[in-house]
Amino acid sequence: MVKIINGKEISNSLIEKLKEKVDKLKLESNVCPSLAVIMVGDNPASKIYVNNKKRICEKIGIKSYEFVLPANAPESELLKLICGLNKREDINGILVQLPLPPHINEKKIIENIAPLKDVDAFNETNVGKIMTGNFKFLPCTPAGIVYLLKESNIKIEGQHCVIIGRSNIVGKPLAMLMLHNNATVTICHSKTQGLREICKTADILIAAVGKPKFISSDMIKPGAVVVDVGINRDINGYVCGDVDFEKVKDVASYITPVPGGVGPMTIAMLMKNTITAALLQKNI
């Protein structure tokens, strides 16, 4: 029978551990980790994400700052804000909520965040460190996926991991993390030939393609571990993942649900990165 990987339960356990760490840090070193979140415009989905981050910060004991710029704010104003936050000793982590309005260059913005405050680990300096294995921070979603697998006692070493999706946020860094954990990795994308056949060779299949219920049961090797990164809406308007959960669960050995799988881990890992940033900046 398939085992459901409960991301909400695992993330709650991690959040409790992080809270204990922050309490100890405040007591022994008088250090309170802090996170600055910048939002440009009033995207409803972004507002939800930002509010969730603030709520978890409060639960753990991380001080949160929110900076909101109007949607038509010039790129120079956002860069000036980031420059100021880079210099502030009371700010340990900086996160710019994506997506940004079309007139702002996302890459330029990310590259202007100080590497030791880049808690999303999107800066090219931090991305390069992931390639070499000399990293301080890991992108939150890939790190959350590896944490879920390990907490579920799922073997990674020696396994064939197929990742569908090659984004800079999930697919590429996740491939590096799985390689660092001694998996054999295949990355698939929209131009991949014979996708179904490749997926059926996976011991661990990770779907990050952004298409509702794209992964069907005939793409899964019996007993495979299936991780669903997607967050979509089906034809009835309900939240669903990239995997056809109801059909695939009859073939897989482990599977993450949507919602309640990978999603909760992303914010938990952001909190972990923020604490790491504080420790590095205070030389603790």
Six token digits for residue 1? 């029978």
pLDDT at residue 235, as a whole number: 85
pLDDT in tens, 121-165: 999 999 999 999 999 889 999 999 999 999 999 999 999 999 999
Of 33, 54, 261, 21, whose CA–CA distance to 147 is shortest? 261
Q: Examine the pLDDT at 236 and tell me if it is beyond 90.
A: no
In eight-state DSSP terms, residue 217 is G
**Using 50, 70 and 90 to split pLDDT, how confident is the model at 44?**
confident
Residue 252 to residues 92, 197, 200, 245, 260: CA-CA distances in angstroms?
Answer: 41, 16, 11, 10, 18
Q: Examine the pLDDT at 237 and tell me if it is beyond 90.
A: no
Of the listed 53, 213, 249, 272, which one is catalytic? 53
- Percent of the chain exceeding pLDDT 90 equals 93
pLDDT at residue 204, as a whole number: 98
Instruction: Read off the pLDDT of each residue in 258-264 and give the average, rounded to a whole number.
Output: 95
Of the listed 117, 118, 120, 249, which one is catalytic? 120
Of 254, 246, 171, 187, whose CA–CA distance to 212 is shortest? 246
Per the annotation, the verdict on 244 as an active-site residue is: no
Grouping H, G, I as helix, E, B as strand and the rest as coil, residue 227 is strand
Place of tokens 């409803």: 44
| Mean per-residue pLDDT of the chain | 96
CB neighbours of 58 closer than 8 A, spacing ≥ 6?
64
CB-CB contact of 158 with 147 (8 Å)? no
Pairing label, strands 160-164, 204-207? parallel
pLDDT at residue 279, as a whole number: 96
CATH topology of domain 30-114: Rossmann fold (3.40.50)
**Using 50, 70 and 90 to split pLDDT, how confident is the model at 200?**
very high
Of the listed 97, 118, 228, 272, which one is catalytic? 97
- Percent of the chain exceeding pLDDT 70 equals 100
Domain parsing of the chain, residue ranges: 30-114, 140-263
pLDDT in tens, 81-134: 999 999 999 999 999 999 999 999 999 999 999 999 999 999 999 999 999 999
pTM above 0.85, yes or no: yes
pLDDT in tens, 69-81: 999 999 999 999 9
d(CA 137, CA 159): 25
Q: Cβ of 160: how many Cβ atoms within 10 Å?
A: 16
pLDDT in tens, 15-41: 999 999 999 999 999 999 999 999 999
Per the annotation, the verdict on 53 as an active-site residue is: yes
Decide whether 30-114 matches 140-263 in CATH topology.
yes
CB-CB contact of 115 with 125 (8 Å)? yes
According to the CATH classification, is domain 140-263 in 3.40.50.720?
yes
Q: Examine the pLDDT at 254 and tell me if it is beyond 90.
A: yes
β-bridge partners, 246: none
